[in-house]
């Protein structure tokens, strides 16, 4: 089954304790991204990656790191979590150039993970 897998689903941690949220996709997608969802603010992009070893900041990157050493994995790292990073996090992946597959732009679409609810106390 084509999917994006995030772990853990729920995490409670203390301020300053480094943590990693994992994200893995099995669709051979070039593009991966992390979002955080906060009430009334919708989803905001943290970081994205257009391919292996290619990452860039989204709209709210402060306090986060990412890496893309393999095509399928895109972990989100919080080196020193703070309470304002308490949020619901989603990983997503997509074909970056759908035309290559012959499907044209009809293949434009993003598959989301089930989310990680993080609480920092």
Strand 111-112 to strand 42-51: parallel, antiparallel, or no bridges (unpaired)? unpaired
Is residue 47 within the footprint of other proteins (CB under 8 A)? Answer: no
**Chosen residue from 58, 61, 63, 75 binding other proteins by CB under 8 A:** 58
Size (the chain), residues: 121
Is residue 45 within the footprint of other proteins (CB under 8 A)? Answer: yes
**Chosen residue from 24, 25, 33, 85 binding other proteins by CB under 8 A:** 33
In terms of CB distance, is 14 or 48 closer to other proteins? Answer: 48
User: In 1-121, which ranges are E strands?
Assistant: 4-7, 10-13, 19-25, 31-38, 42-51, 54-57, 65-66, 76-78, 87-94, 111-112, 116-120
Site residues for other proteins, 82-111, by CB under 8 A, read: 90, 92, 94, 96, 104-106, 108-110
């Amino acid at each position: 089954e084509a999917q994006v897998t995030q772990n853990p689903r729920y995490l409670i941690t203390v301020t300053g304790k480094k943590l990693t949220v994992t994200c893995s996709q099995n669709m051979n997608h070039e593009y991966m991204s992390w979002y955080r969802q906060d009430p009334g603010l919708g989803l905001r992009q943290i970081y994205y990656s257009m391919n292996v070893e290619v990452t860039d900041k989204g709209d709210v990157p402060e306090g986060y790191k990412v890496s893309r050493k393999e095509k399928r994995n895109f972990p989100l790292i919080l080196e020193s979590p703070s309470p304002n990073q308490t949020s619901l996090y989603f990983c997503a992946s997509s074909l970056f150039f759908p035309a290559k597959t012959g499907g044209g732009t009809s293949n434009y679409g993003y598959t989301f993970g089930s989310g990680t609810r993080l609480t920092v106390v």
